[in-house]
Amino acid sequence: MLTLSAADVAAHLDYPSLINALNQGFAGDFSAPPRQLYALSPDKTGNHDAFALLPAWNDRYISVKAFTYLPDNGQHNLPVLHSQLMLFARKSGAPLAFIDGVSVTCARTAAVSALAAFHLARSDSHTLLLLGTGNLAMPLLRAHLSVRPLRRILLWGRSLQKAQQLQQQAMSELLPLYPKLGIVVVEDLAQAQSNSDIIVSATGSAEPLLFGARIKPGSHVDLLGNHNVDKRECDSALVQKARVFVDDKNNVLKEAGELLLPIAEGCFKATDIQADLATLCREGHATITAACLTEQAAATALPPARQSYNDITLFKSVGTALSDLLCAALVLERYQQALMLQELAPKVVVQPEPGHTTA
C-alpha cells in the first residue's frame, strides 16, 4: 500500500483537472452516508474540539477520511486540523493508499468552491472578493481563476497585516500567470461586498460579515468558513434574498448556522434549498472551460442553474466525503502514472572513457 504525503498531493494536482474530476464524479453514481461528527468535550461550553469520520464510495473506490479539529491549538502554535485518508479498491476491497488528509481537504475545498461558482456565478464575473487570509486563501484564488475570467481580486482580513502579506504572496505567484490581474487589499468590507461579482468567505466568523442589503443583484456568494450551528458568515436577509444551494443537504442542516439560524427564526425553510452539488453537476452537463470564454460569449452566457442575470446565488458548504474520494483518487492515479513513466523511461548508461578503469 502506498503512503502519499502532502508534497505528493501538491505535486500531482492542478485545479482545472481536479474541478473537472469533481464535476464528473458528483454527476455519477456514488454513496456517501452522513458523516459522523463527534464532539470531544460536549459538556464544556464553548469548546468545539471534534473528531469526524467521512466515508464514501463509487464504482471504482472506497474512501474514509478521519480528522481531528481542535480550534484552540492555534493559540499554542499547533495545527488546528489533523487528517488522514485511506483509499481502497471497490472491486476487491484491497487497500490502495494512505494519503495526507489535510492537503486533500484543502485542495478539494477550494475546488468545490470554484465548481459551485462555475455552475452558479455569471459567466462575465470579473471581480472576486475573498474574506479570510488563512491556508485556504491561495488555493481558493487559484481555483476560481481557473473557472472565471477574473480581472480584479479584493482581499479582506480581520488582520490588515495578514491581508497585506497575502496580497504580496498572491502578486508573486499569480501575476506571472495572469499579468493583467489586479490584486488589492480592502478595508471597507461594506463597500467591497457591494461591488463584487463573486464573494468567497472563508473566515469562521461567529457573527455575520455579509449582509443581504449590501449584496448587489447578480452576485454569487460562497460560504465555507463556518461549521457551527450557532455561528454564521452572513445574515438572514441574504439567505432570504438569494437562491440557496448546498454541497450536501444532510451535512449542512446539521452543522451550518447560516441556514439553521434563519430556519429557527422562521424566515427560511429546508425546502427552500434549491439543489445540492450533485444535482448541479448532473444538470450542468458541462466541462470546466469557462475561464476561456471570449468576452462576447461571457457577456451573454448564463450557467444552467442561474435563472436570470440578476439572481443572487448562495452556496453553503461544510465538506463532503465524495470530494475527498475524488481528490484522493486523482492524486493516486497521477502518482501511479508518474511511476509508470519512470519505469518506461530509457535508462542512460554512461560508458567509461577509453583507457579509464574502475576499481
User: What tens digit of pLDDT does each residue of 153-209 get?
Assistant: 999 999 999 999 999 999 999 999 999 999 999 999 999 999 999 999 999 899 999
pLDDT surpassing 90 at residue 296: no
Taking the alpha carbons at both ends of the chain, their separation in whole angstroms is 39
Any idea which of 10-24, 44-58, 88-102, 288-302 has the lowest mean pLDDT? 288-302
Q: What is the pLDDT of residue 227?
A: 86
Q: What is the pLDDT of residue 44?
A: 84
Asked whether residue 43 falls in the same domain as residue 65, the answer is yes
Asked whether residue 178 falls in the same domain as residue 293, the answer is yes
User: Residue 94 is part of which domain span?
Assistant: 2-104+321-344
Q: What is the pLDDT of residue 42?
A: 85
Query: What percent of the chain lies above the pLDDT cut of 90?
Result: 80
Residue with cell 572513457: 353
Strand ordering across the sheet containing 243-246: 182-185, 152-156, 127-131, 198-201, 220-223, 313-316, 243-246, 275-276
Asked if residue 349 belongs to a domain, the reply is no
Question: For residue 63, what is the DSSP state?
Answer: E
pLDDT surpassing 60 at residue 239: yes
Round to whole Å and give the CA distance between 24 and 28: 6
Q: What is the pLDDT of residue 349?
A: 61
Round to whole Å and give the CA distance between 254 and 228: 9
> In terms of Cα–Cα distance, which of 257, 253, 291 is closest to 118?
291
Asked whether residue 19 falls in the same domain as residue 96, the answer is yes
Asked whether residue 310 falls in the same domain as residue 327, the answer is no
| 357 Cβ contact list (under 8 Å, min separation 6) | none
Asked whether residue 171 falls in the same domain as residue 278, the answer is yes
Mean pLDDT of 325-333: 98
Mean pLDDT of 84-88: 98
Round to whole Å and give the CA distance between 300 and 31: 36
Mean pLDDT of 82-104: 97
Using 50, 70 and 90 to split pLDDT, how confident is the model at 276? very high
Q: What is the pLDDT of residue 284?
A: 79
Round to whole Å and give the CA distance between 61 and 96: 9
Q: What is the pLDDT of residue 108?
A: 98
Using 50, 70 and 90 to split pLDDT, how confident is the model at 228? confident
Round to whole Å and give the CA distance between 222 and 130: 10
Asked if residue 353 belongs to a domain, the reply is no
Mean pLDDT of 228-242: 96
Asked whether residue 98 falls in the same domain as residue 201, the answer is no
Asked whether residue 146 falls in the same domain as residue 259, the answer is yes
Asked whether residue 195 falls in the same domain as residue 333, the answer is no
pLDDT surpassing 90 at residue 341: no
Round to whole Å and give the CA distance between 278 and 223: 18
Instruction: State the CATH number of the domain containing residue 17.
Output: 3.30.1780.10
Asked whether residue 140 falls in the same domain as residue 214, the answer is yes
Asked whether residue 128 falls in the same domain as residue 40, the answer is no
Asked whether residue 43 falls in the same domain as residue 88, the answer is yes
pLDDT surpassing 90 at residue 219: yes
Asked whether residue 167 falls in the same domain as residue 240, the answer is yes
Q: Total structural domains in the chain?
A: 2
Asked if residue 276 belongs to a domain, the reply is yes
Q: What is the pLDDT of residue 350?
A: 62
Asked if residue 170 belongs to a domain, the reply is yes
